[in-house]
Amino acid sequence: MPLESTAFLEKARETLANPQLQRALDASTRRLSVARQAAKAEVADWEALRERAYQIKKHTLENLPRYLTELETRLQERGGQVFWAADDAAACDYIASLAVRTGAQLSVKSKSMTTEEIGLVAALVRHGVETVETDLGEFIIQLAHEHPYHIVAPAVHKTREEVGELFTRALGAKPEREIAALTQIARRALREKFAHADLGISGANFAVAETGTIVVVENEGNARLSTSLPRVHVAVMGIEKVIPGWDELGVFLRLLARSATGQKLTSYTSFITGPRRPGERDGPEEFHLVLLDNGRSRILADPGQRPVLYCIRCGACLNVCPVYRKVGGHSYGWVYSGPIGAVVNPGLLGWQRAAELPFASSLCIACAEVCPVKVPLADLLLNLRARATARHEAALRLHFRRKARAIRAWAIAMRAAWTYTLAGRLARWWLRRRSEHGWVRTLPGLLAGWTQQRDFPLPAVKTFRRLWKERRV
């Protein structure tokens, strides 16, 4: 049953009732949106670039077996090991047994939504491998035992005071309120981990089939540390991340950082092709790439929803979404949030388990307009809504019976000028009777939703038609 009494609604209410969270959400999404617009404005061929990216993704996914096997072959030629994982359990088992085989006690992990998706940290901890999130935002989230709030800004909901208290409690650090000092506390704590880690874990933003190269985009340097200090590096990527070659990579790199944070490029972009070569002084001795399906082939099998897999996880659609900006990331109930989460989560989890998410949208479609790879989010959301509706027809019929009655009454009122005028007069009289100090605080029945989070202003004393008539006279 869409959006009647779901975890989404509960979480959303909680977020709406928290003024500090509302301010943080508003400020951060606004900042990222403004930065994105400025960065986009100086690329003359932005629209052509988006169309290019869309075509590349379409082509690659339609020929996915060919590009995945090419990626595998090239990477193996360069000494890398490839593991295909049908689901989260297979991926976690492989990495856990890799950790056990190499005697790893401590692993360091850079930011990756895919490892979050498969619950890798918990799986490694169960196997006795301490696993530390090293991206500052993720580190804070891990210490607080929470889940990321935003695809690119996981700790966007925490204030500096909260971070300071968390560091004092969890790390025994002396109380600090300056952001720079807090950052240095995290740097020192995590350097210690990097220096002793045996296993480094990363995601991959892209994988280049023609050379067997994975690409990791970041700002802090923790992904560089995770992929070059430990003696084993394992990267986890969804099978949809592969692209044909370096020319295509250039297109996506020009789009990704601009869309995510408004940067031309992030501070660091690492292109990693297998383990260290003879003669090299550093870098991992073993390199493993996990190619994860975990529901992606199911989305691929559904031509209507296939473009869900074009997403490059920039988060631009979250920042412009009027629903995300109010209800925040945790309301979506799983790893991916915002408009893209509303189509990815039902796709990966199965259409039944997140059926309500596509309804968490006003269909304003700002998301589709900003998407750097032109994911047709409107079509995808509507498809999923239609499916959820078809499946719950009986329940929905009951739900809509009251709505249908109201709509019939509306139709009668709109049928002739005199009924419209009469209905308007009645409505104004009724609203005025319910009001206090010029505001309507509550409305009954079907209309209750309007006044749940806000007050309803009284209608103007003179209607537009009345003003129009007076003007003409």
Site residues for another protein, 266-295, by CB under 8 A, read: 266-277, 279-283, 291, 293
Burial class (CB in 10 A: 0-12, 13-18, 19+), 418: exposed
User: Residue 342 to residues 224, 438, 444: CA-CA distances in angstroms?
Assistant: 31, 38, 30
* Of positions 106, 113, 132, 225, contacts another protein by CB under 8 A: 225
Question: What's the closest the beta carbon of residue 450 comes to another protein, in angstroms?
Answer: 32
Q: In angstroms, rounded to a whole number, what is the distance separating the alpha carbons of residues 373 and 369?
A: 10
Binders of another protein in range 112-151 (CB under 8 A): 134-137, 140
Binders of another protein in range 191-220 (CB under 8 A): 191, 195, 211-213, 219-220
Residue count, binding to another protein (CB under 8 A): 93
Tell whether residue 361 is a contact of another protein (CB under 8 A): no
Phi-psi region of 15 (alpha: psi -120 to 50; beta: other; left: phi over 0): alpha
User: Residue 153 to residues 12, 205, 315, 328: CA-CA distances in angstroms?
Assistant: 19, 16, 9, 12
Question: What's the closest the beta carbon of residue 158 comes to another protein, in angstroms?
Answer: 7
Going by DSSP bridges, is the β-strand pair 130-133/106-109 parallel, antiparallel, or unpaired? Answer: parallel
Question: What's the closest the beta carbon of residue 22 comes to another protein, in angstroms?
Answer: 15
Binders of another protein in range 417-456 (CB under 8 A): none
Tell whether residue 65 is a contact of another protein (CB under 8 A): yes
Question: What's the closest the beta carbon of residue 320 comes to another protein, in angstroms?
Answer: 16
Binders of another protein in range 290-329 (CB under 8 A): 291, 293, 297-298, 300-301, 303
Piece in contact with another protein (CB under 8 A), picked from 55-63, 335-343, 377-385, 433-441: 55-63
* Of positions 13, 187, 326, 428, contacts another protein by CB under 8 A: 187
Return the structure tokens found at 349: 């989890």
Q: In angstroms, rounded to a whole number, what is the distance separating the alpha carbons of residues 183 and 198?
A: 24
Q: In angstroms, rounded to a whole number, what is the distance separating the alpha carbons of residues 290 and 123?
A: 15
The set of residues, in sequence order, having a beta carbon less than 8 Å from that of 33 and lying 6+ positions away, is: 316, 319, 320, 370
- Closest by Cα among 15, 80, 4 to 337: 15
The set of residues, in sequence order, having a beta carbon less than 8 Å from that of 16 and lying 6+ positions away, is: 22, 326, 327, 453
Question: What's the closest the beta carbon of residue 362 comes to another protein, in angstroms?
Answer: 25
Tell whether residue 50 is a contact of another protein (CB under 8 A): no
The sign of the CA dihedral 261, 264, 268, 271 is positive
64 vs 366 by CB, closer to another protein: 64
Question: What's the closest the beta carbon of residue 125 comes to another protein, in angstroms?
Answer: 22
Q: In angstroms, rounded to a whole number, what is the distance separating the alpha carbons of residues 73 and 82?
A: 9
Q: Contact, 237 vs 309, CB < 8 A?
A: no
Question: Per-residue DSSP letters for 327-365?
Answer: H-GGGG-SS--HHHHHHHHHHHH-TTTTTTGGGS-----
Tell whether residue 163 is a contact of another protein (CB under 8 A): yes
Element (H, E) at 417: helix 417-434
Question: What's the closest the beta carbon of residue 203 comes to another protein, in angstroms?
Answer: 16
Question: What's the closest the beta carbon of residue 359 comes to another protein, in angstroms?
Answer: 26
Tell whether residue 183 is a contact of another protein (CB under 8 A): yes
* Of positions 20, 62, 125, 467, contacts another protein by CB under 8 A: 62
Question: What's the closest the beta carbon of residue 440 comes to another protein, in angstroms?
Answer: 37
Q: In angstroms, rounded to a whole number, what is the distance separating the alpha carbons of residues 244 and 251?
A: 12
Piece in contact with another protein (CB under 8 A), picked from 244-252, 336-344, 397-405, 454-462: 244-252
Tell whether residue 70 is a contact of another protein (CB under 8 A): no
Q: φ, ψ for residue 57 (rounded to 5)?
A: -65, -45
76 vs 435 by CB, closer to another protein: 76
Binders of another protein in range 13-42 (CB under 8 A): 24, 27-28, 31
User: Residue 388 to residues 246, 301, 356, 375: CA-CA distances in angstroms?
Assistant: 40, 18, 8, 21
Q: CA 149, 155, 160: angle at the middle one, nearest 5? A: 145
86 vs 395 by CB, closer to another protein: 86
Tell whether residue 8 is a contact of another protein (CB under 8 A): no
244 vs 376 by CB, closer to another protein: 244
Question: What's the closest the beta carbon of residue 422 comes to another protein, in angstroms?
Answer: 53
Binders of another protein in range 77-116 (CB under 8 A): 78, 83-86, 90
Question: What's the closest the beta carbon of residue 245 comes to another protein, in angstroms?
Answer: 8
Binders of another protein in range 250-269 (CB under 8 A): 250-251, 253-254, 261, 263-269
